A = this chain, B = another copy of it.
Amino acid sequence: MKTLKVPEATIIRLSVYSRYLTEVDRKGIITISSGEIAEGVGVSPAQVRKDLAYFGEFGTRGVGYNVKDLRQHLLKILGLSSDWSVALVGLGNIGLALSSFKGFVERGFIITSIFDADPSKVGTMVGHVEVMPVEKLVEVVKQNCTQIGIVAVPASEAQEIVDQLVKANVKAILNFSLMVLNVPPEIELRNVDLAVNLEVLTFNVCAQRC
């Protein structure tokens, strides 16, 4: 790959741009400028152009960007040109919410298997997917060639589950448990920490006053 290193912040913004463009495209708008994108998503125009520049030239000077084109390019860059098979582990509150989260399907993330340790949940249907026991995780995930695992189990079980996912050859893991996890370096891992988000807020609220 020619792009030596792209900041993660850029990737996050590209994702936001692409979703914004989906919205703009739906309105039938053909062309858009970096300034308009910037306005729409709350960043600076220079930032938009800089982010895009990591990956090539997508616009025409004096004009702007073709909405459909740029959107397609961004989706391609983000690896969203085809669907992804996702395995969801843990059907507690968070897991259940994620299982029916529209935002995933819209972007091509298809939950193809769901696992839970609780025998009373095993066998029930969530959408079109039957909940399976965690013992079957490695087998099923391998069989489906699932590349992404979502971990939404209690902290105490998280590492165990992650090890299983790695054994099942997933490439990436999204972790909702409040646990620091160890994975081989070639596996992509991201942690989503809901409480931390609130705590950044409380810190800032306090900082304003103090």
A129 interfacial by beta-carbon distance below 8 Å: no
Contact B12 A148 (CB under 8 A): no
A192 contact set on B, CB distance < 8 A: 192, 194, 197
Contact B201 A188 (CB under 8 A): yes
Contact B109 A195 (CB under 8 A): yes
Complex CA–CA separation, A207 to B195 (angstroms):
30
Residues of A in contact (CB 8 Å), total 61
B-contacting residues, A81-133, CB 8 Å = 84, 86, 93-94, 96-101, 103-104, 106-107, 109
**Interface residue stretch chosen among A63-71, A72-80, A138-146, A157-165:** A72-80
Complex CA–CA separation, A204 to B196 (angstroms):
24
A193 interfacial by beta-carbon distance below 8 Å: yes
Residues on A lying within 8 angstroms of B by beta carbon are: 1, 6, 8, 11-12, 14-16, 19-20, 40-42, 77-80, 84, 86, 93-94, 96-101, 103-104, 106-107, 109, 147-148, 171-174, 178, 180, 186, 188, 190, 192-208, 210
